[in-house]
Amino acid sequence: MRILVTGPTGAIGQYVLEALMQTDHEVRVLSLPDSMHRINYRDRIEIVMGELSDNTALSEAVEGVDIIYHCALVGPPPAKSAKHMMHVNADGTRNLLSHAVGRVQRFVLCSSSVVYTPHEKPWQWPVTDDTHREPFGGAQQIAHSESLMAAEDAVTRAHITHGLDYAIVRPTLVSGRKSYFIEQMVIAVLRTPDGLDTLRQVWDTMQWVHGSDVASAALLVGEHPEAANQRFLVANGEPITIYDVQALTWDIMNVGKTDNPFRDVAERNNLGLRKYEPGKLHALGWTARMDVKACISEVLGRLEFYSSAGIKLPPHLIGD
């Protein structure tokens, strides 16, 4: 089969591309004109450079494609204007859809759990695949959510009016090579081990998911016959707070020791209840392979690399 991945350098797209490299599919990517050097596997894929508003590029990208993994969606961080998010996420998806209808077998949209109704309080848990959608939170979050809902609506509309088969994945907080939030959390744990209370309140209970697990979910719903025209929450099974990040970081950095000074506070802060329950993916046999500890190890490894190589930390790792 021929596959198109949009946004192949992003937090999710790069892992979707990586996962596709383990398959026999022919892969094509659609990527922004200035992004060539950041695309992986350049020798093994077909590359179309262009924006989602570029009809020539879109028609070239979609030509002969069986499945589209649409990962070229944007959100904070860094802060983005509501207009920009609406332009890329909603208008961009609509444009891509106008080329995809009648041509592809399935359209997989990589949305986000930010579209779900307010779920910051434990009595609202668990959020499940088809929990009602409603933007909430700060202005950025609301704007992000509204732009993704518009993108999702465009996809369902293409299904209703043109019979396009689709699947929507909604990952929670994505860990991996482009995981600004998670990197910032690990850096905060290292720099201000005694000042985590604000982060505890900001993030409260989290359930991460690694980019590679989002990719395996996306590939699964891209081809599974029972996944057609459905929405899938993607999250690992570990509810954590920032204090668990601290305790796990200590464990990783103190291999073999058991007297973790942060364990008790971490356990007392953790309610032990899941915020997200990705029931549909589990029913299809998906489970997350990367646990929180593995995600943190990865971030620590990256920080260690920068420090040992004497490389100045890139700005996105230092930023506040």
Note whether 260 binds another protein by CB under 8 A.
no
CA 92 to chain centre: 18
Question: Closer CB to another protein, residue 269 or residue 297?
Answer: 269
Residues 6+ apart with CB under 8 A from 98: none
Compute how many residues bind another protein; rule: CB under 8 A: 38
Angstrom distance (rounded) from CA 233 to CA 279: 8
Note whether 198 binds another protein by CB under 8 A.
no
Question: Closer CB to another protein, residue 43 or residue 226?
Answer: 226
- Closest contact distance (angstroms) between CB of 138 and another protein is 4
Both tokens assigned to 107: 């359209």
Angstrom distance (rounded) from CA 104 to CA 101: 7
The stretch near another protein (CB under 8 A) out of 36-44, 253-261, 270-278, 306-314 is 270-278
- Inter-axis angle of helices 211-223 and 13-20, to 10 degrees? 60
Q: Give the dihedral sign, CA 264/266/268/270.
A: negative
- Amino acid symbol at 259: D
- Closest contact distance (angstroms) between CB of 117 and another protein is 6
Question: In the set 36, 228, 253, 271, which binds another protein (CB under 8 A)?
Answer: 271
Question: What are the phi and psi torsion angles at 69 (to 5°)?
Answer: -105, 105
Dihedral angle computed from the Cα positions of residues 258, 295, 271 and 234, in that order, rounded to the nearest 10 degrees: -150
Q: What is the secondary structure of 95-112 as a DSSP string?
A: HHHHHHTTT-SEEEEE--
Note whether 268 binds another protein by CB under 8 A.
yes
Question: Closer CB to another protein, residue 216 or residue 269?
Answer: 269
Question: Closer CB to another protein, residue 14 or residue 145?
Answer: 145
No. of helices (H) and no. of strands (E), the chain: 13, 11
Binding mask 272-311 for another protein (x = CB under 8 A): xx--------xx----------------------------
Binding mask 156-195 for another protein (x = CB under 8 A): xx-xx-----------------------------------
User: Helix, strand, or coil here: 114?
Assistant: helix
- Of residues 112-151, which lie at the interface with another protein (CB under 8 A)? 117, 121-125, 130-136, 138-140, 142-143, 146
Is 232:281 a contact under the CB 8 Å cutoff? yes
- Closest contact distance (angstroms) between CB of 106 and another protein is 17
Binding site for another protein (CB under 8 A): 82, 86, 117, 121-125, 130-136, 138-140, 142-143, 146, 153, 156-157, 159-160, 200, 204, 264, 267-273, 282-283
